[in-house]
Amino acid sequence: MLHEEEVLSDLQSSLYIARCVELGKEAGIHYLVMQLLGDNLSELRRTTPTKRFSLRTVSQLGMQMVESIREMHENGYVHRDIKPSNFCIGLPTATADDGDGPGDGDAP
């Protein structure tokens, strides 16, 4: 978790990264409180009547997702777990996971 704290701290000026509200350690357990965001893209897609996004929506979301990844790369970080469930709706779309952990699909 210490690496995730460092990544979030370095990227707090980005429009595309979830805000860190508080971090600390209590009774030997590290914790991280992040801003509340909307649904992730996997959840949002599942709730649409057709289970799909329109071409216009895909285009708009895709451009924001690419921009968020570009900003991470420009700051020296590589997201190693890019998937729809790691992008949450906000203003604009924000990355909720720094991708530093091992890829485990969409499992909780």
Task: Write out the catalytic residue numbers.
Answer: 81
Q: How far is CA 14 from CA 54, 58, 95, in A?
A: 27, 21, 10
Cβ pair 42, 85 in contact under 8 A: yes
Residue 23: beta bridge partners? 32
